Amino acid sequence: MSNIIESQIDGTFYGWSGDTLFKLTNGQYWVQSNYAYNYHYAYRPHVQIIEKVNRYYLEVEGMNNSIEVRKLFSVIESVVTNDFNGWDGETIFELQNGQVWQQASYAYNYHYAYIPQIIIYESGGGYKLHVEGVTETLPVRRIG
């Protein structure tokens, strides 16, 4: 018998694209485990997370396929304290909770947002930063 978690995506859903983070209305966070791309727009769709042989699969209302996911346990939620303009190499992110994080590997992404919400989570021995409205995640390290 498999375990099933039923909830909703907390906010707008755009499908998945490689390392997609899923925040659920039940307070849980899940992240895509394997690369796959599937665009689907929905607002707060119902989801099921189904456990099969110690693996978890996310099924989203209105989509025909599922994606393997893993649950996140160490999650930091905050907001950037000023204008956000994406990242460009060594970008530093000052957060409202007092923490300071820096981009850990080179990548470029321009996206403007005023005091966006962010989520930082452990992934593969390091940390990743997810910014509200940006589909890509970014490896980061804490510097303060």
pLDDT in tens, 30-58: 999 999 999 999 999 999 999 999 999 99
The pLDDT assigned to 2 comes to 65
CA distance 4 to 11: 21
Mean pLDDT of 106-133: 93
Give the C-alpha distances (Å, rounded to integers) separating 64 from 32, 59, 61. Answer: 17, 8, 8
The pLDDT assigned to 133 comes to 85
Token pair in block for residue 108: 């470029």
CA distance 86 to 104: 14
Mean pLDDT of 3-9: 95
pLDDT in tens, 54-70: 999 999 999 999 999 99
